[in-house]
């Protein structure tokens, strides 16, 4: 402690002050030495000192002396003077690089190769589509499966009663005189005789007269061989119109309706010509497979064609049924299509397959198939020179409403 009335500094205090000055001097000297060393030493090479140099306590931390130089092949350790590096786990943005001419040429070559490959694939697909379009060989006739009435000997009264159902359900009907009904019955029998089906009976048969002045479809039935055929009903149709490319005359003959040429149903969508070629949605397309058809263009001749019977556009083309207008198929009224479908008029073979357990998706679950279901569509040509009054053609107003593009529709 200080004594009052004196200005002298105690000896202990003087000793402490001298020590503090010495420490300050040493710190200043060391800082100057470090700055001088950094100014003279290369940035990439640490200064060398003996390995035995002791560590010094300076400014409250341990100063590690520089490490000795390493052999030439060794890697230099990282020191505080080394440049900072990005951590491996962090993304390091790469500066944009200019694309060299060689790289651009390489990429152009790759693009050309890819384009060539795409062209090759397209050509291959086109070739495959062309091969797929090649007509199949016509299916051989199937042994006709007997319908329910043929198996059980069911009395035919219900078959004759289908006349009332036809009149009730089909809106486009023809009032055929009795004499013409009988004449067409005889024509049907001749066609069946010529094709080995002369004893056909106890089932419905669909008959089409493709004559330009008739254009009609008939449904016939008889109970026993030798009986006269009895007409159930008749409607107007459109068959193949010659004179344009890809238009066939509707083929003549007896055509068996079998699941091997599976039917399908219309989607009801508009085609590129804004026409529903197969009619409204859910209309059934009766498919009779590939047959030989007479070409209606060029020098004529015979070519394979896919023969079908189907509905047509209900607004644009159904009004002109009664004149030749199709590309070879038989177009029928939509209500007649529904009548055939619901009652299974031509579904004897389809129903037999379904009874065996096969999945026949085109058959509706709510159908009421007649026990007298048939197998055959028959097409004839009476070549009538004049138009009968009972089969009038479409009027002028209906013809004028037909789009020009309708010529391209089946």
The larger pLDDT score, comparing residue 30 to residue 155, is at 155
Is residue 235 included in any domain, yes or no?
Answer: yes
Q: What is the pLDDT of residues 350-399, one digit of tens each?
A: 999 999 999 999 999 999 999 999 999 999 999 999 999 999 999 888 87
Q: What is the CA radius of gyration of the chain?
A: 50
Angle, to 10 degrees, between the axis of helix 162-169 and the axis of helix 334-343?
140
Is residue 382 included in any domain, yes or no?
Answer: yes
Is residue 118 included in any domain, yes or no?
Answer: no
Is residue 60 included in any domain, yes or no?
Answer: no
Q: What is the mean pLDDT of residues 256-266?
A: 98
| Separation of CA 85 from chain center | 56
- Residue 207: which CATH number? 2.40.440.10
DSSP string, 240-309: B--SSTT-EEPPPEEEE--GGG--EE------TTS--TT-STT-EEEEEEEEEEEE-STT--EEEEEEEE
Q: Is residue 227 over pLDDT 70? A: yes
Non-local (6+) Cβ contacts of 10 within 8 A are: 2
Is residue 94 included in any domain, yes or no?
Answer: no
Q: What is the pLDDT of residues 106-127, one digit of tens each?
A: 444 444 444 444 444 444 444 4
Predicted TM-score (pTM) of the model is 0.68
Q: How far apart are CA 161 and CA 186, in angstroms?
A: 22
Is residue 86 included in any domain, yes or no?
Answer: no
Q: Number of structural domains, the chain?
A: 1
Is residue 140 included in any domain, yes or no?
Answer: no
Q: What pLDDT is recorded for position 27?
A: 64
Q: Is residue 220 over pLDDT 50? A: yes
Q: How far apart are CA 338 and CA 333, in angstroms?
A: 9
Which position has the token pair 């035919």? 156
DSSP string, 356-382: TT---TTS-TT----TT---EEEEE--
Domain with 287 in it: 147-408
Q: What pLDDT is recorded for position 410?
A: 65
Mean pLDDT of the chain: 79
Q: What is the pLDDT of residues 24-54, one digit of tens each?
A: 555 655 555 555 444 444 444 444 443 444 4
Is residue 65 included in any domain, yes or no?
Answer: no
């Amino acid at each position: 402690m200080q004594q009052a009335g004196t200005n002298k500094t105690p000896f202990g205090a003087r000793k402490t002050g001298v020590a503090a000055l010495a420490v300050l001097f040493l710190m200043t000297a060391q800082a100057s030495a470090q700055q001088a060393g950094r100014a003279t030493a290369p940035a990439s090479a640490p200064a060398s000192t003996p390995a035995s140099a002791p560590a010094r306590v300076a400014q409250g931390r341990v100063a590690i002396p520089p490490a000795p130089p390493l052999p030439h092949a060794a890697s230099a350790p990282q020191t505080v003077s080394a440049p900072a590096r990005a951590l491996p786990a962090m993304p390091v943005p790469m500066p944009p690089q200019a694309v060299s001419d060689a790289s651009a040429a390489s990429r152009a070559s790759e693009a050309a190769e890819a384009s060539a490959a795409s062209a090759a694939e397209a050509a291959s697909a086109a070739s495959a589509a062309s091969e797929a379009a090649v007509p199949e060989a016509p299916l051989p006739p199937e042994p006709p499966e007997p319908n329910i009435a043929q198996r059980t000997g069911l009395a035919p009264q219900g078959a004759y009663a289908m006349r009332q159902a036809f009149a009730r359900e089909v809106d486009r009907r023809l009032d055929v005189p009795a004499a013409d009904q009988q004449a067409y019955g005889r024509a049907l029998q001749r066609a069946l005789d010529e094709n080995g089906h002369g004893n056909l009976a106890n089932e419905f048969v669909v008959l089409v007269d493709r004559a330009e002045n008739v254009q009609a479809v008939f449904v016939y039935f008889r109970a026993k061989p030798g009986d006269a055929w009895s007409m159930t009903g008749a409607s107007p149709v459109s068959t193949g119109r010659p004179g344009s490319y890809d238009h066939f005359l509707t083929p003549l003959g007896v055509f068996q309706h079998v699941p091997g040429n599976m039917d399908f149903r219309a989607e009801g969508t508009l085609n590129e010509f804004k026409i529903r070629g197969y009619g409204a949605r859910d209309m059934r397309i009766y498919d009779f497979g590939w047959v030989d058809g007479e070409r209606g263009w060029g020098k004529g001749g015979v070519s394979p064609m896919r023969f079908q019977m189907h509905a047509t556009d209900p607004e644009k083309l159904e009004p002109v049924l009664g004149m030749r207008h199709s590309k070879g198929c038989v177009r029928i009224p939509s209500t007649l299509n529904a009548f055939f479908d619901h009652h299974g008029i031509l579904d004897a073979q389809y129903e037999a397959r379904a009874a065996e357990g096969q999945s026949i998706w085109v058959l509706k679950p709510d159908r009421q198939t007649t026990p007298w279901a048939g197998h055959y569509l028959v097409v004839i040509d009476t070549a009538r020179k004049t138009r009968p009054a009972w089969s009038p053609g479409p009027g002028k107003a209906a013809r004028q409403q037909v789009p020009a593009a309708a010529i391209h529709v089946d």
